[in-house]
Amino acid sequence: MPKTGLQEFRALLSDFKSLTSLTIGGAIAAPLVDLALKVGPPWPQGVPFISSISELLALIYIFHFWFSKSRKKLKTRMVVFLILCCLSLLMYLVLYSSYTFVSPATSNRYVKGFVLRPEVQELITNEFTEDDALVGAEYDPKEVWKPWSITAMRVAILSFWLMMFVSLSIFIGTFVMVQRSRIIRGS
């Protein structure tokens, strides 16, 4: 039996509350795991909260602007954002493992640069590496790498981290929209 517009709206609202609260709650809470596991970027302070806010903004965007998209377009976007999530995770892991270090003095993680200071570049050989220079500089990365390259790497690492979580959030949000349209069409 066909439903009235109001009945469809009620069904949508009921479905929206159950699926969306799980989606938003799970997606927004995921980066907060970093508070315990410490796998997020070392810069800036508050990365888990920045990540959660970014995800929330992405979800608001897609629920507002993609609401009327066809299921076919939404499914295509799901694939695109799943691939983007995987690629950004891979890039984040590569940069995180290659361009961060833990200072033994503080047990905090810091970001390396990618352009050595000229006076350090002269010292680098097969026997004396960048890591040796870092130890000699008492783990102060600004004494080994040019500050702008440290800043650029901080931004790159943070960007891939945020891209990973935002694309994951968009993927999940789009999945909810596809499922919601399936439930509404099926009733």
* pTM, 2 dp: 0.81
**d(C-alpha 105, C-alpha 2), whole Å:** 69
Q: What is the 3-state secondary structure (H, E, C) of 159-183?
A: HHHHHHHHHHHHHHHHHHHHHHHHH
User: Could you tell me which residue, 115 or 176, shows the higher pLDDT?
Assistant: 115
Which among 96, 127, 92 is positioned nearest to 112, based on CA atoms? 96
- Over residues 127-169, the pLDDT tens digits come to 999 999 999 999 999 999 999 999 999 999 999 999 999 999 8
Q: Residue 30: its pLDDT value, please?
A: 67
Please report, for the chain, the start and end positions of each structural domain, with discontinuous segments joined by +: 5-186
